[in-house]
Amino acid sequence: MEPILIPSLANRLVIPTDPSEDEFNYCSSGITIDSYEIISTIGSGSYGSVYLVREKSNGNVYALKKIYYVDVHDSELVKKRAIRERDAMIVCNKAKNSRAPKLHRAFIDKDECVFYYVMDYIGGGDFNSYCYKRLCEQKPFTMDEIKFYMAELVICIETFHHLGLIHRDVKPENIMINEEGHLILCDYGSSKQLFNNYSTHNGFLSVSSSAPGHGGSFGSFGSGSFGSSGGSFGSGSFGSGGFSNTPPNFTSFLRNPSSSYTSYIGTPQYMAVEVVQGTNYSKLCDYWSLGAILFELCTGQALFVESPDTTEQKIRENIGNWRGLLNTAISKNQSIPKVVETLIRDLIAPERKRIDSMGIRKHPFFEGINWEDVSNHRNTPPFKPTLNSSTDTTYFRN
C-alpha cells in the first residue's frame, strides 16, 4: 500500500518552534481567512474557537478551528500542539479514517499569528452536550445504549492507534456525534505519533496504511455531574491558560524511540495514573479514559471529581489514590451491573494489568457485539440527530 506522507519537515521528531507557511499549510494554495464567510461560532476552547463557515468560492460548509499562538500562555507549546494536530489529521485523512473529521485545508496567518484548520462539520454536536441533555431530561442511558457508545469508542480509539497515534485526551467533549449518530474522535492537539509504523520515504516520514489492524474488522444518574465547568461532562482540558503540564518531552523520546513516553499531557479527570505520575506510558492510557467514561455513563458521576469545586490538584491526588477511590465509588453505586464493574476494573487498572483492544473486544460486557458491524457503521445508533440543513447548529446551542 502507498505510504502516508506527512507533508512537513523531513525530520518530524523535531517539531518546528516557528513553523513557516510551507511547513504548516495543507491544500491551501491561495486560501486565506477571507476565503470564508463565518456563519456562527460552534465551540470555543483554550486558545481559539471553532466556527461554522462557508467557503465563498464553492459554497461548501465546514467547521473552521482557529488557534492563536501569540500572547498566550506557553506559545511554544501551543505551536507544537497545533502542528501535532495537523499531522494527526493528515494521517487520518490519508488512511481514510472514518472516525476522524476530515481535514480539508490547514493554513497559517503569520500576521495575525493564527493557525486555521478547515474540517468537516460534524453536525450532531459533542458527546458531552448530549450526555448533559440526557441528564437535564432525566433520561439515563440504558445498558444497550452504553454498550453501543462504548463499542463505537473502542473502534474510534483502535483506529487511531492503528495509525500509530495515541490520542491522550479522550473525553466526552472531544467525541462528536455525526449526522447518522455515530461517534467521531476529534481534537488531536494532545496526540502523539508512535512512529512504529513510520518509515522515511523521499525524505518524508511516512506511515504505512497497511499498519496492523488497519482496514480490518476492525443506570441511573447521580448528583449533577454531567454539566458545565467543574462538573463531570464539561470540564476544561489541560492546554488551557492554566496549562501546568511539562511540555511533551521529545528529548527523552529521541533517547528511547519505543512506544513509551513520559510527557505529561491530557485532561485530569480522565487521565491514566501513569500519565499523572509521569512514568512511562503507552497507547493503553487511552483505554483508562474509556473506563472513566464508562463509569460516568453508568452513574452520571465522574470517578475522581467529588464536586464542581474539586481542584485540578485534588483530581490528580485522587487519581494517584485511584484504588481506594474506585472501590468506594463502586460500592456507592450498587446498581452498576457486575459485568460493567469488571470492565471498569479492567480499564481503571495499572498499565501492566489493563486490557488492550483485544481484551476489550472479548470482554463479556460486549457479548453479542459484532465488531465488524460496529466498524462499518452498520449498527443502528440509539440517537440520530435531526438536522434541517447543512448549516443547522441546533446541537451546538447550550
Segment 143-146 long-range contacts (CB within 8 Å, at least 24 positions apart)? 143/219, 143/337, 143/340, 144/382, 145/382, 146/294, 146/297, 146/298, 146/340
- The residues that touch Mg ion, with contacts defined as CB under 5 A, are 174, 187
Is 66 annotated to bind a ligand? Reply is: no
51 vs 198, beta carbon nearer Mg ion? 51
CA–CA distance, 82 with 109 (Å, rounded to integer): 13
- We find the least distance from the C-beta atom of residue 55 to ligand ATP, in angstroms, to be 15
* Closest by Cα among 48, 198, 55, 190 to 121: 55
- We find the least distance from the C-beta atom of residue 336 to Mg ion, in angstroms, to be 28
Sign of CA dihedral 159, 161, 163, 165: positive
Buried b (16+ CB within 10 A) or exposed e, 200-222: eeeebbbbbbebeebeeebbebb
What are the two backbone dihedrals, phi and then psi, of residue 298, each rounded to the nearest 5 degrees?
Answer: -80, -35
Binding range to ligand ATP, per CB under 6 A, among 120-128, 216-224, 294-302, 318-326: 120-128
Under the binding rule (CB under 6 A), the answer on residue 122 touching ligand ATP is yes
Does 169 participate in catalysis according to the annotation?
Answer: yes
Under the binding rule (CB under 6 A), the answer on residue 47 touching ligand ATP is yes
Binding range to ligand ATP, per CB under 6 A, among 154-162, 184-192, 302-310, 382-390: 184-192
With contact defined as beta carbons under 8 Å apart, do 354 and 281 qualify? no
Buried b (16+ CB within 10 A) or exposed e, 100-137: bbbbbbbbbeeeebbbbbbbbbbbbbbbbbbbbebbee
- We find the least distance from the C-beta atom of residue 45 to ligand ATP, in angstroms, to be 1
Tell me the site size for ligand ATP, rule CB under 6 A: 23
CA angle, 153 then 118 then 156, to 5°:
10
List the one residue from 16, 45, 224, 247 that touches ligand ATP (CB under 6 A): 45
- We find the least distance from the C-beta atom of residue 43 to Mg ion, in angstroms, to be 8
List the one residue from 35, 159, 191, 237 that touches ligand ATP (CB under 6 A): 237
210 vs 246, beta carbon nearer ligand ATP? 246
126 vs 351, beta carbon nearer ligand ATP? 126
Binding mask 15-34 for ligand ATP (x = CB under 6 A): --------------------
Neighbours of 171 (CB within 10 A): 24
99: Cα within 13 Å, side-chain hemisphere: 25
Q: Indicate which of ligand ATP, Mg ion, none lies near residue 239 (CB less than 5 to 8 Å, by partner kind).
A: ligand ATP
- We find the least distance from the C-beta atom of residue 288 to ligand ATP, in angstroms, to be 18
Under the binding rule (CB under 6 A), the answer on residue 69 touching ligand ATP is no
- We find the least distance from the C-beta atom of residue 330 to ligand ATP, in angstroms, to be 29
What are the two backbone dihedrals, phi and then psi, of residue 384, each rounded to the nearest 5 degrees?
Answer: -120, 120
197 vs 267, beta carbon nearer ligand ATP? 267
Under the binding rule (CB under 6 A), the answer on residue 174 touching ligand ATP is yes
174 vs 299, beta carbon nearer Mg ion? 174
With contact defined as beta carbons under 8 Å apart, do 116 and 65 qualify? yes
Sign of CA dihedral 376, 139, 384, 397: negative
42 vs 330, beta carbon nearer ligand ATP? 42
Under the binding rule (CB under 6 A), the answer on residue 87 touching ligand ATP is no
Q: Which residue among the candidates 22, 71, 111, 169 is catalytic per the annotation?
A: 169
Cell output for 161? 492507534
Q: How far is CA 99 from CA 17, 62, 157, 170, in A?
A: 29, 17, 9, 13
Cell output for 163? 495509525
Residues making up the annotated binding site for ATP are 65
Catalytic sites, residue numbers: 169
Residues of the shown chain interacting with ligand ATP in the complex, contacts defined by CB under 6 A: 42-43, 45-47, 50, 63, 65, 81, 101, 119-122, 126, 173-174, 176, 186-187, 189, 237, 239
Residues making up the annotated binding site are 65
